[in-house]
Amino acid sequence: MEEKSLIQKLPRILPGLLFMVGSVILLRLYVEPWIKDITVFGTKGWLARELNLNYILLSIILGMLYRNVLFGGKIPAWAEEGFRTTRLFIKGGVIMLGCLYTVMSLAKVGGWAIVLILTFVFGTVLFVMWVGRMLGADRSTIGTMGAACGVCGVSACIATAPGVKAKATEVAMAIATILGFGLMTMFISPFIGKALGLSDLQYGAWVGTGILNSGQVLATCLAFNPTIAKGTAVYYGELWNLVRVISIPFVVFIITAWYYSKEAKEEQGGQAQKQSFGQILKEKFPMFVLGFMAMTILSTLGLFGPEKSETNHLLREAMQWIFAIGLIGQGAYIDFREIKQAGGKPLKIGLAAGATKYVLALIIIKLFVPSDYDV
Amino acid sequence: MAGAADAKGGKMTVFKSDRHEDYASMVMVGIVTAAILFYMAFLVGEIKLKATDDGKVMEILVKPDTMVKKGDKLATLAAKDKKMVGGKLEEKPVTRTVTSTLNGKVLSVKAKPGDAVKKGKDTLMVLVPEKGQLP
């Protein structure tokens, strides 16, 4: 049967697509502000900040509810073609994510701190690859968990997932693991920090390196010292976290390149004959990852206006809407039965990597980072 | 990513291939980004200049209809420089100068000397940017 063109498919795409767009409008205009206003444990916005219940998770959760509750376990025929545009929006969101990063932001952090943080980021990625192989996990699981544990959780995981062809279930499990791990460490870290007599610098550096999610880094630092000022735990934690976040484009690029180089090798029956990196790029490498890198370069060159400008704010807003549409679809591909079948491998990898990074960072920081240093 | 299982077995995209989908996403982002940049550079009417620090407004250095250039001084704020030194919080009163981040005209001034302002929340003045710059 001859394949239909995109224009011919449009009538079948529109119902599902409009359903996703409508859901996002509802979520972003009504549900998200409502969640930010809820007071839990006496703190307004606790759910949004501590549990990271922002548009990313809300979109995925809503999509999961659609499939598993509203649709009875399968996306209905009328919406199927529209939901197939999910990856288009996820990839679009990833490309736009690039315009929020500038390499210049690294200048805010001292050289030794950059070396330390990047060693942990890439060291964790390598560790996840090793543990993943030991447990016999899929390369796509290893890729998403590597990004999630190495960098700062949710964004890195979502940005890497389409490049390594990860299943929606794998993404969901990676996110659940890092948020669960973050939640646990969020409560114990202030006690450990006080017991070991860590200074604000040491504590911020440790938490900014060891905890896997940006929101949780902020909350954990504030639990240690609620003062927001230069030289406090939250100041250093955010600074450390910033370097991790800036490394996202490079981590995504490296993990995707690793994924495709292995795939090329497998296709050749595991023979020693290797495809050149140029060949991999030309034939297989996901072009949207290059688009993501290109946006980071353009942003560094100042083409999208100064950092924190109105233009930057609008670009971020557009990115969030694009991502949210894709993430509703992403959630709708998560089948509760598949999560059961996936077993505990992603959980084991995530916990092993997270715990190792958390403990190792504490030892190194306690031994080598001075208690007071003007960064 | 979504349903890669489906992608491996069947087709998980409305496009001819993953490559086509990649290019489509790049085109989509290109259009959205270009539209935003065009809107901000040529169509946006006014920009609210927010307080750059928590503190009090000391002086407003411009009046409505004043033409300003990037870097021109617009207002001064009395703020506090907080720093943690040796486990103790040191607070030093400082004067912060708010400068214009773009060329344009002051449309209206919203704050007056003595007003308490919050960083990024309270509007000091409204500016009309010159066309062709990204505010």
Q: What's the pLDDT band for A28 if we cut at 50, 70, 90? A: very high
A/B interface, count of CB pairs below 8 Å: 138
Contact A96 B33 (CB under 8 A): yes
Residue B76: pLDDT above 50?
A: yes
Specify whether B79 is located in the same domain as B28: no
Q: Which of A228, A310, A332 sits opposite B135 (nearest CB)?
A: A310
pLDDT on residue A40: 81
Looking up residue B68, the CATH number of its domain turns out to be 2.40.50.100
pLDDT value at residue A105? 66
Cα gap B1→A158, rounded to integer Å:
9
> What's residue A358's pLDDT?
87
Determine the residue of chain B that is closest to A291 in CA distance: B26
Contact B135 A168 (CB under 8 A): no
pLDDT score at B10: 47
* Contact check, Cβ <8 Å, B40/A166: no
Mean pLDDT (chain A, rounded): 82
Q: Is the pLDDT of residue A236 over 90?
A: no
d(CA A346, CA A344): 6
pLDDT for residue A174: 82
Q: How many CB atoms lie within 10 A of CB A263?
A: 16
Q: From the CA of B33, how many Å to the nearest CA of chain A?
A: 7
What's the pLDDT at A70? Answer: 92
Residue B78 has pLDDT above 80, yes or no: yes
- Does position A240 have pLDDT exceeding 90, yes or no? no
**A162: its two tokens:** 């389409």
- Residue B31 burial (10 A CB sphere; 0-12, 13-18, 19+): exposed
Q: Are residues B56 and B103 in the same domain?
A: yes
Average pLDDT over residues A15-34: 94
**C-alpha distances out from residue A38 to A47, A58, A165, A221, B75, Å:** 7, 15, 36, 22, 37
pLDDT digits (tens, 9 = 90+) for A274-313: 556 666 666 667 788 888 888 888 988 888 887 778 898 8
Task: State whether B37 and B51 are in the same domain.
Answer: no
Per-residue pLDDT at B4 exceeds 60: no
In a domain, B125, yes or no: yes
Note if the pTM is more than 0.80: no
Instruction: Give residue B113's domain range.
Output: 47-129
pLDDT band at B134 (very low <50, low <70, confident <90, very high): confident
Interface contact B83-A229, CB threshold 8 A: yes
- Put simply, the answer to whether A13 touches B85 (Cβ < 8 Å) is no
Same domain, B53 and B93: yes
- Is residue B100, in this structure, part of any structural domain at all? yes
* Site from A74, A87, A256 to mutate, B interface, most B CB atoms within 10 angstroms: A87
Would you say residue A246 has pLDDT above 80?
A: no
If one compares A369 and A160, the residue with the highest pLDDT of the two is A160
Contact residues, chain B to chain A, C-beta under 8 Å: 1-8, 11-16, 18-19, 21-26, 28-29, 32-33, 36-37, 39-40, 44, 47, 81-87, 89, 101, 134-135
Q: Nearest Cβ partner of B40 from A81, A314, A333?
A: A314
Check whether residue B11 and residue B37 sit in a common domain.
Answer: yes
Q: Does the pLDDT at position A335 exceed 90?
A: no
The DSSP 8-state label assigned to residue B3 in this structure reads: T
With beta carbons under 8 A apart, name residues in chain A contacting B135.
Answer: 305, 309-311
Asked if residue A215 has pLDDT above 80, the reply is no
Residue B16 lies in a domain: yes
Q: Does the beta-carbon distance from A168 to B44 stay under 8 Å?
A: no
* DSSP 3-state of A280: helix
Whether residues B89 and A229 touch (CB distance < 8 A) is answered with yes
pLDDT tens figures, A82-102: 999 998 998 898 888 888 777
In this predicted model, what pLDDT tens digit does every residue of A1-16 receive, in sequence order? 556 777 888 899 999 9
pLDDT in tens, A342-366: 666 777 787 888 888 888 888 888 8
Amino acid at B114: G
Considering the domain boundaries, does residue B134 fall inside one?
A: no
User: Do B29 and B92 fall into the same domain?
Assistant: no
Of B3, B11, B101, Cβ closest to residue A167: B3
Count of domains forming chain B: 2
Average pLDDT over residues A124-133: 86
What is the average pLDDT score of chain B? 86
One domain, residues B17 and B74: no
Residues of B in contact with A171 (CB under 8 A): 1
Domain contains B54: yes
Which of B1, B8, B81 is closest, CB to CB, to A162? B1
Give the model's confidence band at A262: pLDDT under 50 very low, under 70 low, under 90 confident, else very high.
confident
CB burial string B94-103: b at 16+ within 10 A, e below: eebebbbbbb
Q: Tell me: do B97 and B80 sit in the same domain.
A: yes
Confidence of residue B5 (pLDDT cuts 50, 70, 90): very low
For the cut 70, the answer to whether the pLDDT of residue A197 exceeds it is yes
Asked whether residue B78 falls in the same domain as residue B98, the answer is yes
- Residue-level pLDDT at A318: 94
Instruction: Specify whether B69 is located in the same domain as B125.
Output: yes
Question: 3-state DSSP call for residue A170?
Answer: helix
Do B77 and B104 fall within a single domain?
yes
How much is the average pLDDT of A201-208?
88
**Domain-located, residue B135:** no
Q: Give domain status of residue B121, yes or no.
A: yes
Contact residues on chain A for B28, CB-CB shorter than 8 A: 88, 92, 322
Q: Is residue B22 part of a domain?
A: yes
Query: Distance (Å, rounded) from C-alpha A335 to C-alpha B67?
Result: 60
- Decide if pLDDT at B77 tops 90: yes
A337: number of Cβ within 10 Å = 10
B99 or B84: which carries more pLDDT confidence? Answer: B99
Query: Confidence band (pLDDT; 50, 70, 90) for A23?
Result: very high
Which residues of chain A lie closer than 8 angstroms to B102, CB-CB?
none
pLDDT digits (tens, 9 = 90+) for B49-62: 889 888 999 999 99
Chain B hits for A287, CB-CB cut-off 8 Å, are: 19, 22-23, 26
Task: Reply yes or no on whether the pLDDT at A138 is more than 70.
Answer: yes
Compute the average pLDDT of residues B95-119.
91
* A217 pLDDT more than 50: yes
Q: What is the band of A243 on the pLDDT scale with cuts at 50, 70, 90? A: confident
User: What does the block give as tokens for A309?
Assistant: 């400008």
Q: Is A239 or B112 the better-scoring residue by pLDDT?
A: B112
Does B77 lie in the same domain as B52?
yes
